[in-house]
Amino acid sequence: MSTPTMNTLTPTAPLAPAATASPLAGLLGPCLRGAVFVALVTGLAYPLLTTGVAQLVLPRQASGSLIERGGAVVGSALIGQAFSGAGYFHPRPSVTVGPDPQDASKSIAVPYNAGASGGSNQGPTNQGLIDSVTERAAAYRQTNGLAAGAAVPVDAVTASASGLDPHISVANAQAQAARVARSRGLDAAQVQRLLAEYTQPRVFGVLGEPRVHVLRLNMALDAVPAPAGQAPAALK
């Protein structure tokens, strides 16, 4: 009679746990491809498309709405310029700033600096704004020969939100007309005709207020022959 054999379990080495892939590993490739695609569409294709369409449909506006005189660019229809001569209409104040050439860490006033568009952000009760408006109003009355208590148009003593507004109100232009005519030796009616010609109406007849483009009006004044014995003015 044979002796039954005993089956024994032979110990085996434990199985190494199966390597589990990170759930993010499969997303890395699609994410990178998506980022590159979006960058190419929004950073290259879209700007090139919009620029090309703008140049075809509105070439002057797409190039900055530049204003030329004698073949030379003298400004933009969208950005004001600082005029100080007595024979010119003056724009509204601008509080834009720029880097101080003597100290790059500081800023100085640079009127109508398109690279730093903005207002002063001072509230109506800010003492600095109150003092500035008071000083500007006094200087405006003196420059234009107005009485000490004469009303001053708001836009003559306050800056626009952008600091780049090329227009002034009709009331502001009217208050300056006598000074301009007197300085140039022109008839007041002649200056008034130019002022009326360069007054732009409300947008669509309802939006905003009538306004005067300062640079265009001053250029029109320069085109008027100077009276005998008086030198023509230089745009400044």
Domain boundaries, the chain: 72-91+166-225
pLDDT bin (cut points 50, 70, 90) of residue 97 is confident
State which H helix or E strand residue 107 sits in.
Answer: strand 103-109
Residue labelled with tokens 């502001």: 172
Answer yes or no: are the C-beta atoms of 187 and 177 closer than 8 Å. Answer: no
Paired tokens of 70: 């004698």
Q: Is 21 left (phi over 0), alpha (psi -120 to 50) or beta?
A: beta
- pLDDT at site 52: 86
Mean pLDDT for 8-18 is 60
- pLDDT at site 104: 77
Answer yes or no: are the C-beta atoms of 92 and 159 closer than 8 Å. Answer: yes
**Strand, helix or coil for residue 100:** strand
Supply φ then ψ for residue 155, to 5 degrees: -70, -10
The radius of gyration of the chain from alpha carbons, rounded to an integer in Å, stands at 34
pLDDT bin (cut points 50, 70, 90) of residue 170 is very high
pTM: 0.74
Segment 35-93, tens digit of pLDDT: 899 999 999 899 988 988 888 888 878 888 888 888 889 888 899 998 989 999 999 99
- Between CA 208 and CA 205 the distance in angstroms is 9
Half-sphere exposure of 87 (CA within 13 A, CB side): 19
- Between CA 174 and CA 129 the distance in angstroms is 25
Is residue 204 scored above 80 in pLDDT? yes
